[in-house]
Every structure is written in structure tokens, then in C-alpha cells.
Structure 1
């Protein structure tokens, strides 16, 4: 892996969920995240929201994004998908989160995996979440969502992928993306993007008997994870690097209005995205103070704006 192809960490995670209001209430009113951007899916013809939640500034690596699609039949949850999203919180805040989640009606349990204690719970659509205390995380949390600074979510800590075969996926992560293997815990393996306290983590569960999960738009599944790259030239170098290794299922660059992306289907089946934030990012069409307040459309979809709004579920703050 060439040293000039740095994956700096996570950019965002995108999941298919149920009701838009239910999803908004979960992320904003329960988890205390900030609504960063309210827009729509840019692919295909069927209108549905693309909602972005994050920390105070919507920093790369803090972003949980969702496609509400309550009308879609739930897909098959299984291997070849992201299974768990782990969120980073300050040290000493476990008891706060346990009490808060249970007060809102969410069942919790405590697990230990790869030497880390986790507070586990589920999104209303069934996707698995975890809270992990991360003392060295200095990202600026959003504190206007009902959660105090000493407990507020700072961003993504890691994602956990279910894989039926570890070896080819490990080779893709190490040789293709430059991740560093940090060892295993039985059948579970951890990889780091970078070194030291700032390294982002990806975890893999070796579940060889787990049936293959869905790759389509399917309520209750994670669609993809996106990694943060610094520039368009690095993004193109990574695309060519992966193709040169034989991973030819790499998309062309797609304009996502706030960032540019290429996608690759990994050997494990999980879909990865390499994203480069555009110059103005979230501030392209909103101020820092008004992020996420209005529904935004890219210029190329303005001609469908009224039609799409009429078919979208209202979201009440």
C-alpha cells in the first residue's frame, strides 16, 4: 500500500431505517445529535430523505446518515454488512447513557469485545448501536440536544462488519486501504486507520455460518460506510490503486453536492465509499448556525422539488 493514499478515518455511515420521524426522534431527541443536513437521495427516481446527524460542526467521522424508507420490506440482515455502529462518549458517562436510554424505553446490555466495554442498544428499526467511553476523543460534541458536555456523543468510534471469510477481507483492508491489523479476540479482528489515539477503528466479526445479508435498499440494514480522504487527487490514486490490485468494482466519481465519492464492493460484501468533502461542505447552502433546518435540494433536482416534497413524510422538531 502506497503511503500517499491516506484514509484519514471515517467520513459517515449510511443506513436504511423506518419512519423519518422515528429516526429523527432517536438521533436528535434521544442521542442528542445535531441535525446537520436534510436532503434527499440523489440516485434513481424514488423520492426519499437523506438525513445527516453529527456533532457540533458535522465533522467528518461524526456523521450518521439515514434513508428513511418505512414502506420498504425489511431486508435480510446478515453477513457482508455493517452489523454494529459504535459511538464515542467521554469517560465516566456510561451510567448517564444507561439511565437515559432506558428512560426513553430502549433496552440496554453491557458487553466486552476486543478488550473494550460497550453499552449496547438498538435503533428502532433494529440496527445495533453501542456507546463506548473514549477518553482521548477531543472532537467537539453538540450540547444543545439535551445531553450535557460531559456525556455528549463526539462521533463515530468504530463500525463492526460481519464477514464469512476473514482472509480476503483482511488483505483488502491492509493492501488496498492501508489499514493496520491490531490483532484478534477469538474470531473478532480489529483494524486501525493510522496510529495512536487519533486512529479510527474498524472491527470484523468472523461469522462463517451467518447467511448473506441484503445489498439493496432494505429497512433495518446498513447500506455503506464512507471513509474520509483529503483531496480529489488522493481519491483518484486510491481508485487506481484498488483497480491495480484487481478490485475492479470501483465506481466513477459521483457528485454528492457536499462531497465527492467513489464506491467499491469489498470482498466481504460490505459497500465502502471514499469521500472527499467539497470546499464549502455543509456550508454550501446553509450557515453554521442554521445547519439542518431546511430541506435542501441540489440544483439538478430543483425541477422535481415540489413533487418530491409532496411525497415525503413530514418531520416535526
Structure 2
């Protein structure tokens, strides 16, 4: 059965070095790819995930040194949640305190223990304690003990005026099903264990979001291959009157984009070819990788990019 759920989440951050330090040292994620924004090659595109960079684990950033703060509002991802073993919430609470990371007290939401916190740019994140996550693979290359390590995405929460139009896309096109309700929240789940949940928070009339530091640029959903991606695009057009962009080759996956009815930018990304397409799996993220069309400009690009460890 084809796995359905999130492929990756892409956000905007401030300085690249600070971003790298937080996600690799504090959260213990692996830097699986250091490349550039293919549409703006003077900017890094940093990818973090598990050891192999599996779909459903990849959190990516466009880091801009002097970015203005964003504002979460309608048509935005309100929170990005990461899954940890259920018994690890205490460990992570102490770790966030020790690192001086702004956070809230753990709370029960949709039957799960959730620890909300923010990264240095104010991006809203959460750790969710998941029963059975301890049996999932964990990246062991950081100082976070494997038994407490982040396994990948739990899901995202989208802030919307109304849930129904977005829900129709999630169920009719992207292969998710409704699995829970609580207050203003409606949860939809896919079949993938990592990144399987999308929660809609319908709040009625509210301020629109403003992109900037600490905001999510887009969220990407999984397609097994080009044919599956094309079938989703066809369902969007035939059933919902929505057109996608032309397919864009991102080296590690192939993508199409569209704006769903609530205003959130969605991407559909293929699982293949993966992050070992241009460097060995054992050395992911160690060197700057460029697509072929930018390789002739490597020297200039490296001169412009800020230095990171």
C-alpha cells in the first residue's frame, strides 16, 4: 500500500549557523543535505531529518541572515509537531530548560501528550509522545540518547477560516482520512507512521499570516512516484478546479505545487530518488551540493553564502 502523509515541511529562518546549531545540537537531528534554494542560489537550503532522510522526517529551511519576523495567521501552518517515544517527554522538558528554549508545559491534545516550544526564530514546534515510537529507527549521531531521539514528524496543524474545503483536498486527493475531533480541531491521518497527521484548526475570521522568519513556507505530501503524483494532480483539477505548477526537479524528489482553498501552499513530492542521489548515505550533509545547472557557478555561490560549520 502506498504511504500517505507528509514528505517534508519547509520554513524560513534567520542566520544559517544559528539554525544549524539549534536543529543538530539542541534537537539532535541529522543535517542530511546542505544545498541552496534552487530559485535563489544565494540562500542556503538546509535539510534535517533522520539517518537516511526518509520522507516524513525532513524539516527544511531557507535561512536569511536579516529576515523580518513572520506572523502566523489564516492560511498558515500554525505548528509543526515531531514524534518522540511517549516516555521521553520528561527528558525533553529538562533538555529544553537546560538549553534555554522557550516552551510551554506539556498538555493533553487529542489524547496525546504535547510539549510546545519555539526555535530561535519563533517557529512554533511541538514534541508529541507516541506509544511505540521507541521501536522506530533513531539517529544516533548526536548527544541525544537514542531512546529519546526525535523519530520524524508527527504532523502539522493548519490555521484556517473553515475546515471543510481543505478537508476535501486532504481526503479526496492526498489520501488522508478523518480520525479525530476536539473543539476547533479536526485531525486527518494518512497511512505513513512518520508524518501521518494533519490537524485543521478552524477559527473563523482572523488575521492573515505574513511570511518571514519563524513561519512555514510550505508543506509537502508524499507521492510514491511520478504516476501517483500525476494522478493527484488530475484529481485536483477534475474534482476541485485546482491546477498545479509544472513538475520541478529538486534533485532529491520531483515536485508540483498548488495553493489549497484555505491559502496554505501545498507541494506533492515524489519519494524517489532520495537524499543519497548525489552523495553517499554515510556522509549526507557534509559538503555543499548543487544541481547540475548551478555547478558552473559554484565559486561565486560559495563566496556569497555565509560560513557554517
Shorter-chain TM-score range: over 0.9
1:229-308 equivalent positions in 2, closer than 5 A:
229-279=223-273, 281-308=274-301
Instruction: Say what the alpha-carbon RMSD is for the aligned residues.
Output: 1.8
TM-score by length of 1: 0.92
For 1:55 and 1:199, locate their aligned partners in 2 and report how far apart those are by CA, in whole Å.
Answer: 13
Task: Provide closer, same or farther for how the CA distance between residues 167 and 28 of structure 1 changes in structure 2, counting only shifts above 3 A.
Answer: same
Q: Do structure 1's residue 47 and structure 2's residue 47 form an aligned pair?
A: no
Matched, 1:22 2:18: yes
Aligned equivalent of 2:145, options 136, 143, 148: 148
Secondary structure of 2:198's counterpart equals strand
Q: Compute the displacement of 1:299 (Å).
A: 0.5
Q: How does 1:209-248 map to 2 (within 5 A)?
A: 209-214=205-210, 218-248=212-242
Matched, 1:32 2:28: yes
Decide whether the 8 Å contact of 1:7 with 1:177 is kept in 2.
no
Q: Please name the residue that 1:314 is paired with.
A: 307
TM-score, normalization by structure 2: 0.94
Query: Structure 1 stretch 305-314 or stretch 135-144: which is displaced more?
Result: 135-144
Query: Whole-Å Cα distance in 2 between the matches of residues 312 and 198 of structure 1?
Result: 32
Give the drift of 1:198. 7.0
Among 84, 90, 107, the residue aligned to 1:89:
84
2:128 to 128, 132, 136: 132
Change (3 A) 1:198 1:23: closer
Q: Render the CA deviation track for 1:217-251: whole Å, top value 9, x for unaligned.
A: x2221011111111111111111111111332311
For the 8 Å contact 1:70–1:219, the answer to whether it is kept is no
User: Which range is displaced more, 149-158 or 76-85?
Assistant: 76-85
Structure 2 regions of 5+ residues with no counterpart? none
Instruction: Please give the alpha-carbon distance, in whole angstroms, between the structure 2 residues aligned to 1:136 and 1:200.
Output: 15
Change (3 A) 1:198 1:302: closer
Partners in 1 of 2:148 and 2:71 — Cα distance?
34
CA contact (8 A) 1:86 1:129 kept: yes
Q: Which runs of 5+ in 1 are unaligned?
A: none
Q: Residues 180 and 194 of structure 1 are in contact (CA less than 8 Å); yes or no, is this contact kept in structure 2?
A: no
